[in-house]
Structures are given as C-alpha cells and as structure tokens.
Structure 1
Amino acid sequence: MEVAKPKWYERALVIAVQGVFFNAYFLGYLMSPKFAHRMVGYLEEEAIHSYTEFLKELDKGNIQNVPAPAIAIDYWQLPSDSTLRDVVMVVRADEAHHRDVNHFASDIHYQGRELREAPAPIGYH
C-alpha cells in the first residue's frame, strides 16, 4: 500500500471484495474445513507465483527497486537499508509458510482428525 499508493476508490474496492470473500469463506469453512484450508493453500501458491514474477520484473529493471517502506522494515525486522526486493522476498517466504500450514491442515481434516489432535511435525515451519 505504501508503494502503490492506491486511490480511495481502489481501497474501497479492496475492502468490498474482502468483505465478500470473508463471508463466503466463513460459510465455506462451516461446510468443509478440509476444502477451505485446501483452497487457501492454493491461493497462497498463486501468491507465491505472483511474487516470483514480481521479483523477475524487479531484477530485469522493469520495476524500480525503491527503498523499503518504514512500516515493512519495522514489521519484518529488516535492516534499515532494505529495498522493495527484500520486502518481496520475506513476504513470499511468509506466503510459502501459509501455503504449507493450510495444506497440512487440509490433510489432517482429510484424515478425519481435528487439528488439535495433530501437532505439526518436528521441523515443520
């Protein structure tokens, strides 16, 4: 948000879409937690792909590798001289973690178990 600086109507559209998605996801989770976690795992995979393509564009010079916004530096505890590329790298890694967690959760539900019955395996992030 700090880099793109969206206009008020773009922000309103994002909020509206998030509202629709939240309610649809809530209902979907009530019907099938297995499906809901798997769907989020796949959404996270798409996010990873998008961030990878973004990195390629940064590396080609098609997108300027500007200094990282202060909010990103603070949140991700990055060095003060971090760039947009550094931020995209940690965000992509976080998305990969979310992908793994949601696919793991879906697998547990697929086995007919509850998440509280299945701690994440050792070494699992």
Structure 2
Amino acid sequence: MHLMTFMEVAKPRWYERALVLVVQGIFFNAYFVGYLISPKFAHRVVGYLEEEAIHSYTEFLKDLENGKIENVPAPAIAVDYWRLPHDATLRDVVVVVRADEAHHRDVNHYASEVHYQGMDLKKSPAPLGYH
C-alpha cells in the first residue's frame, strides 16, 4: 500500500514503473531463497530495512516541514486506506506510513528473535501490549 500511495504522489513514467517491478521481482525472489535458508536472518534483514525506511520518512517529514517538498493533498487511496480526514495532506500520509514501518520493524525483529531461540513462530504470538 505504501508503494501504491507514493506512486500516486510521484506519478512515475512507464519506465520508472517497470524499474520498480523489476526490482520488486529481484527482491522477492532473493528474499524467498533467503527465507528458505534462514528465516531468522531474513526477518532481521527486513527489520533493518524497515529501520532505514523510518529514517528516510523522518527526513522526508523534515523536508515537508521546511518547505523543500510541497505538502500537497493526500491521494484518495491513502485517505481511504488509513481512514485519514478528507483534508489530509502528504505530511499526514508520511506520518502514518512511518508508523507502519515502525510496526513492521518491530514485528520482523521479534520474528527473528523467535527463530533465534529455536521456537516456532506460529506458536509464539507477540505478548499483550506488543506494538
């Protein structure tokens, strides 16, 4: 959903969309093989990727607040998905996307720890109150 939202904001050309599809295809297959080899490692890598995404979105927010990037109205797809107010802006979208990334980071690091301890992820639900 993050990708679809920002594709609406950026309005990429056909070749940029094609590049995104190619990169997603490469990542999906590499991740699939990596997960088969070591789920612990695969979850940890995604956790770190999500940490980097949080940092990137934080920088994006700074640029929005400093006027380096125009704070345009939020795309309808984001308003509908995250149930944002109808007058939501790009800043509002970046805030909820960054929160999603923080949740994804926590879930993947937790999953890596479960695998590291030799437990089955299906039998190890996150504790109550967990992010």
Give the TM-score range, shorter chain. Answer: over 0.9
Alignment match, 1:15: 21
Alignment match, 1:65: 71
- Unaligned 5+ segments in structure 2 are 1-6
Counterpart residue identity of residue 18, structure 2: A
Cα drift, residue 117 of structure 1 = 1.9
CA distance in 1, matches of 2:28, 2:84: 30
Structure 1 position 91 matched with structure 2 position 91: no
Q: Determine helix, strand or coil for the equivalent of 1:2.
A: helix
Residue identity (%) = 79
CA distance in 1, matches of 2:123, 2:79: 37
- Unaligned 5+ segments in structure 1 are none
C-alpha distance after superposition, 1:77-102 (max 9, x if no partner): 00000000000000000000000000
CA distance in 1, matches of 2:74, 2:129: 31
TM-score, L = length of structure 2: 0.94
Alignment match, 1:32: 38
Shift >2 Å, 4+ stretches: none
Query: Cα RMSD between the aligned structures?
Result: 0.5
1:119 counterpart (108, 125, 130): 125
